[in-house]
Amino acid sequence: MHIHILTVLPELLESPFNHSILKRAKDKGLLEISVHHLRRWAVNEYGQVDDYQFGGGAGMVIMCEPLVKAIEELSADKIFDEIIFLTPDGERLSQPIANQLSLRENILMICGHYKGIDQRVRDHFVTREISIGDYVLSGGELAAAVLVDAIGRLLPGVLNDETSALFDSFQDNLLAPPVYTRPEVYRDWKVPEILLSGDHKKINEWRYEEAVKRTQERRPDIIKDE
Ligand code: 6GU
């Protein structure tokens, strides 16, 4: 998979993809990430990419021209399966959306800033608009980093059996059960006996029950009635 990201703040995206699981995905050649500075397509020598909004009001809007030039240039040698605009008024990101996007080959993500981007780019180029939750960030960059992480870890070959995404919270509409590691007793806090029993059938039952209990307590909204 190749993900391109268009942004006015490429520095914000320097580190997030260079560690841990996403780094491994890149090193294995399963994921390529290209961050492009929108200023490369600025409308003048001052590097202008935004302007005041028609109708008045505070806040700048990213102009059509730099975005369209960037999209067309980046599209020259491939077809983007999705052109995603990260925006708080988009569809709220969920595990099913991440699963779906992980099956794509080429994705372009556009990070908004200031008041957003000219609506005409959304109307004519953007195929999907995504928000990462009901709160406002100062720009789309951190949201893009979240989306890339959620997608990248699902690519076949990125996770091994032990870290398999099949057991993630949300993947089966259940939150993950509690986990413990050594020592068996810390201060006077003991690890649940069952986990030390070596009885894997019992352990799996316990984990499932704990997952259900935790989900009922914390997120009854995600439990599916089947
Ligand atoms: Cl995608 N962008 C911004 N600016 N704020 C957000 C968001 C995106 N998702 C949630 N809040």
Atom 7 in ligand 1: which residue has the minimum CA distance?
A: 88
Q: How far is the CA of 142 from the centre of ligand 1 (A)?
A: 8
Per the structure, the complete domain to which residue 187 belongs is given by 169-225
CA of 113 to the centre of ligand 1 (A): 10
Query: Is the Cα torsion angle 142, 147, 153, 157 positive or negative in sign?
Result: negative
The pLDDT-based confidence of 226 (bands split at 50, 70, 90) is low
Ligand 1 atom 3: residue of nearest CA = 137
Domain boundary among 152, 185, 209: 152
State the average pLDDT over residues 134-144: 96
Average pLDDT over residues 29-39: 98
| pLDDT tens digits along 168-216 | 888 789 999 999 999 999 999 999 999 999 999 999 999 999 999 999 9
Q: Ligand 1 mean position to 140 CA, how many Å?
A: 6
* Domain presence at residue 158: no
Q: Residue 131 is part of a domain; what is its CATH number?
A: 3.40.1280.10
- DSSP characters for 59-117? SEEE-HHHHHHHHHHHTTTS--SEEEEEEEEEEEP-HHHHHHHTT-SEEEEEE-BTT-B
Of the three residues 100, 125, 152, the one that is the final residue of a domain is: 152
Q: Are residues 47 and 132 in the same domain?
A: yes
User: How many A from CA of 64 to the centre of ligand 1?
Assistant: 20
62-94: pLDDT as tens digits? 999 999 999 999 999 999 999 999 999 999 999
132 and 64 in one domain?
A: yes
Q: Which atom of ligand 1 is nearest to the CA of 144?
A: 1
Specify if 163 maps to a domain: no
Those residues whose C-beta lies under 8 Å from the C-beta of residue 215, and which sit 6 or more positions away, are 173, 174, 175, 222, 223
Residue 225 pLDDT class (50, 70, 90 cuts): low
Q: Residue 110: CB within 6 Å of ligand 1? A: no
- Ligand 1 mean position, distance from CA 98 (Å): 16
CATH number, domain of 191, equals 1.10.1270.20
- For residue 136 and ligand 1, the question of a CB distance below 6 A is answered with yes
Same domain? 139 vs 193 = no
Per residue in 111-126, pLDDT (tens digit) is 988 789 999 999 999 9
Q: Are residues 145 and 173 in the same domain?
A: no
* CB of 7 closer than 6 angstroms to any ligand 1 atom: no
Count of H-run helices and E-run strands, the chain: 6, 9
Pocket test for ligand 1, best of 134, 137, 142, 148 (most atoms within 8 A of CB): 137
- Which is the closest atom of ligand 1 to the Cα of 143? 1
| Pair (197, 102) in one structural domain | no
111: Cβ below 6 Å to ligand 1? Answer: no
Which stretches within the chain are classed as H helix?
A: 20-27, 64-74, 95-101, 119-124, 141-152, 200-218
Q: Evaluate: CB of 140 within 6 angstroms of ligand 1.
A: yes
Asked if pLDDT for residue 163 goes beyond 70, the answer is no
Domain identity same for 109 and 198: no
Q: Is residue 128 part of a domain?
A: yes
Q: What are phi and psi of 106, to 5 degrees?
A: -125, 125
Q: Is residue 160 part of a domain?
A: no
For residue 108, what are its two tokens? 């372009």
pTM of the model: 0.94
Query: Which pLDDT does position 218 carry in this prediction?
Result: 98
Confidence of residue 164 (pLDDT cuts 50, 70, 90): confident
99 and 187 housed in the same domain: no
| Centre of ligand 1 from the C-alpha of residue 208, in Å | 34
